[in-house]
Amino acid sequence: MSISVRLFCFSPSEELMSVPLKLAMQLHDPLNKPCIPELANTSTRFAEVAVELRNRKPVRVTRKGYYLLRFDAAGFPDSERLGRQMIAAIDWSWMMQSSKEKVEGSVTHAESAFKHRGARWTPAFTEERAIEAAALGNMKTKRIAAQPTVHGLLPQARR
């Protein structure tokens, strides 16, 4: 038995797309950010899925995580913001474990609560089923692609 991690995102047209592992790792690298023009000016929903493999075939989903990643006007991810949100989520969970009091929320504090959850989102039932089907190889998805960059810059921007 082994585990494989699969990453997916929803395009601006709500199409589920697979994210190659190399690209997924670059999304969180502030020095080597990929440029994905298709995602420019969006908050894109990502799903990270761990699947159990038997004989190199996916057999079941073992873990799922969902987060949002914002992209700027050129299509570069705001990985620093995501990092801050994930750290805030860890800080929040420690604070909640140490606190006995209930936290009351309101619409006014929705952004703060969202940040404390680590910019996580919750998929609809049909979205979750599609993500699981794709992760297990039961549904084909297009692969998202990035433009080549050097140290997080487009080649023409370096000139």
pLDDT, tens digit (0-9, with 9 covering 90-100), for 17-70? 999 988 988 887 777 888 999 999 999 999 999 999 999 999 999 999 998 889
pLDDT recorded at residue 158: 42
| pTM recorded for the entire structure | 0.74
Is 92 domain-assigned?
no
Mean pLDDT comparison of 25-34, 101-110, 124-133, highest-scoring range: 124-133
In a domain, 145, yes or no: yes
pLDDT of residue 98 exceeding 80 = no
Residue 34: domain span: 2-78+120-150
Number of domains within the chain: 1
Instruction: Tell whether 107 is covered by a domain.
Output: no
- The answer to whether residue 62 sits within a structural domain is yes
Within a domain: 113:
no
Residue 35 lies in a domain: yes
* Listed residue (73, 66, 83) closest to 31, CA to CA: 83
Domain contains 72: yes
DSSP-assigned letters across all residues of the chain: -EEEEEEEEE-TT--EEEE-HHHHHHHT-TTS--B-GGGTT-EEEEEEEEEEEETTEEEEEEEEEEEEEEB-TTS-B-HHHHHHHHHHHHHHHHHHHH--SPPP--GGGHHHHHHHTTS-----HHHHHHHHHHHTTSS--EEP--B--BTTB-HHHH-
pLDDT at 117 over 60: no
Tell me the C-alpha distance between 70 and 44, whole Å: 6
Q: In this structure, is residue 115 part of a structural domain?
A: no
